[in-house]
Every structure is written in structure tokens, then in C-alpha cells.
Chains A and B, each alone.
Chain A
Amino acid sequence: MLDNYLHILIFILVASLISIAPPILGSLLGPRRAYAEKDSPYECGFAAFENARMQFDVRYYLVAILFIVFDLEIAFLFPWAIVVKELGMAGFMAMFVFLGILVVGFIYEWKKGALEWE
């Protein structure tokens, strides 16, 4: 079975070669004449107001966690979609109940306004 994945292994090798080689070539071949003024951060006009690592709003977290929940739901759908013909009505109802429970959550987040970006 693993023979089917040989293409992906070759792809990984080529991709890592392409992504690793240019920085190494650049650092080996490129001229490097650093001095203090060149290494100092460039700031246009005025002094920086605050740290660049500013805190994110907590709303991004909500979006990410809702995304994870529905991503997992999709992960459950893949094996079901392959075997649904063999499973017949029982398998169909199993997924129906599964999606029904999650639709309750979906309606909840819709009505709560969690999908709105205020």
C-alpha cells in the first residue's frame, strides 16, 4: 500500500530541496558587508508608538475554535462518504443524527451573533 505514496515522498524531497537550497545559496554566494547603520532598524520619520507584537482581539480565538469544530465534523464525513452505500439506511441515519446535533450548535452560534464581525 505504501508504494502508492512514493509520489508524495518524491514531492516532499523536491519541495524541501527547492525551499532549502535558495537561502543556503544566498548566504554562501551573496556579499555581506554589514555596518552598524545598515543593521539598525529603519524607521520612517517618527519614533515607534508601541511594540509591534500587539495583542490580538479575543474574537479571532472564537473564529478559530468554531473553525476547528466544523473542520472535525468534515473529518468525520470523509469515511462516511466512502462507505455510505454499504452501510445503507443505518449509516445514513447515524450521520443524520450526528449532523442534527451539530446543527443545534450551528443555530445557536448563528442566533447568538457569533458569526457576525461587529
Chain B
Amino acid sequence: MGFEKLLFYIFAAVTLFAASMVITRRNPVLSALYLVMAFVSSAALWLLLEAEFLGIVLILVYVGAVMVLFLFVVMMLNIDVATLRARFIHYLPLGLIVAGIMVFDMFLVLGPADFGLDQFAKPQSQPADYNNTAALGQILYTTYLYQFEIAAVILLVAIVAAIRLTLRHRPETKYQDPSNQVRVRKGSDRVRLITMPAEPVPPSLTATLGATHTEMTE
């Protein structure tokens, strides 16, 4: 137990350190990388609670996919640090009020009256062959079947919304289409031969042509 407690404090300290670095860094890309660190140490905390599937999904989904999205969003925004810093004092009172309300809310929910080992006893530690993923699957696809299908609909809405909001077709862009390229036939698609009558040569041109011709023969 003592070793697990030590691990908990180490990972909790790493999480707090990374989270405070996220909100204090000037460079948003650095903040995003510190957020990766916070996610990984939170996954370790979940593993300590023996929620192994959640811990692995946190790394798979958040570190693997959501952080990529964050980095893209950060790089899509025009980051002008100077103007951001100029507005800092201006928005400070409002920010402090919002932060104060949130701390108060969190104290109401997570305060000593509703939190701690008295309200939530420590879960029994499981034997070595216990499979958290299988236990989750047993209830997710039977008891929580409706919520599971709702999740599919939410994902569908996310797909449609993302496409409707960000998809822009650019007809002016020129690009190669290999499937059309390989389907080119030898005759008509590559070279088009046009029969046309010979153009009559204007007399001025015949004079100069004739002159150069005689010069060359002499």
C-alpha cells in the first residue's frame, strides 16, 4: 500500500506541475505539449484506481487524437503574443471573478463534507487475473445499450457538423487524378490530329524567303 501511495503522490505532483505549466506558458504549442504530460500522468492515476481501460483510452484518444486537434487549432489561430499580453490587465478582473466562482463551485462539490475516504471508500484491490476491459464490456453492451447507441448518434452528428462547418471545395485548384491518367487510351485521348487546308503565303513573306534562299545558295 505504501508504494502505491508514493506512486499516487508522484503522479499527482506531475499532473499538477504539468497543469500549471499549461496555463502559464506564453507559447500555446508548449502549453499543448504540457497538456500531453498532464494527460499521461492522469492516465497513470486512473491505472492506480485499477481502471486500466480508461487509462489506456485516455492516452489513445486524448494524447493520440485530441492533442493533434489542439495543435492544429493552435496553429490555425493567429497567435500574436504582444496583443494578447496587452489585453491581459484589461481582462484580469473578469477572469478573477470567473476563477473565484469556479473555485467556490468546486469547493461545494469537492469540499471536505462530500469528499474523502469517508464518503468514497477505497475500492477493493482486484486479483491479478481481473480484466477491467471485459467487465466494462459486459455492462456497456447490455445494461447501457441505449447510451451506447446514443454515443454512435453523437459521433455521427460530430462528423456531419465538422464537414458542414469546415469543408470548402476549391474548384480552381489543379491536381492530377491518377485514376484518369491510367485510363487514357492511345489514340484519341493523347494526340488529336486535325486536317486543315494549307494557308496561302502572303507575297511579302515569299520575297524575304526567296532572298534568304538566294543568299544561302551563293
Contacts and interface: CB of A to CB of B under 8 A. Distances in A.
Interface of A: 1-5, 9, 12, 53, 55-62, 64-69, 71-76, 78-80, 82-83, 86-87, 90-91, 94-95, 97-99, 101-102, 104-106, 108-109, 112-114, 118
A83 B137 contact: yes
Contacts of B152: 97-99, 101-102
A72 B72 contact: no
B167 A114 contact: yes
A94 B137 CA distance: 12
Contacts of A60: 72, 75-76
A90 B159 contact: no
A56 B148 contact: no
A64 B133 contact: no
A48 B134 CA distance: 57
Interface residues of B, number: 58
Contact of B141 (A53, A69, A94, A106): A94
B127 interface: yes
Most A CB within 10 A of own CB, among B7, B142, B149, B155: B155
B23 interface: no
A76 B60 CA distance: 12
A55 B77 contact: yes
Given A1-B127, A83-B137, A61 B69 contact: yes
Contact of A109 (B72, B133, B163): B163
A99 B152 CA distance: 8
A87 B49 CA distance: 26
By DSSP majority rule, is chain B's interface helix, strand, loop, or mixed? Answer: helix
Given A2-B4, A2-B50, A67-B65, A82 B137 contact: yes
Contacts of B126: 1
Contacts of A74: 60
Given A55-B75, A113-B169, A83 B155 contact: no
Interface string B134-147: 10111011100100
Contacts of A1: 50, 52, 125-128, 130, 132
B76 A71 contact: no
B134 A83 contact: yes
Contact of B169 (A55, A62, A102, A118): A118
A65 B68 CA distance: 9
Contacts of B76: 55-58, 60-61
Given A2-B47, A58-B166, A64-B68, A98 B61 contact: no
B142 A79 contact: no
A97 B149 contact: yes
A114 B160 CA distance: 10
A90 B75 contact: no
Given A56-B72, A98-B148, 18 more contacts: A1-B132, A2-B50, A61-B162, A67-B68, A68-B65, A69-B162, A72-B155, A73-B155, A79-B137, A82-B137, A101-B155, A102-B152, A105-B156, A105-B159, A105-B160, A106-B159, A108-B160, A118-B170
B118 to A, nearest CB: 24
A60 B61 CA distance: 17
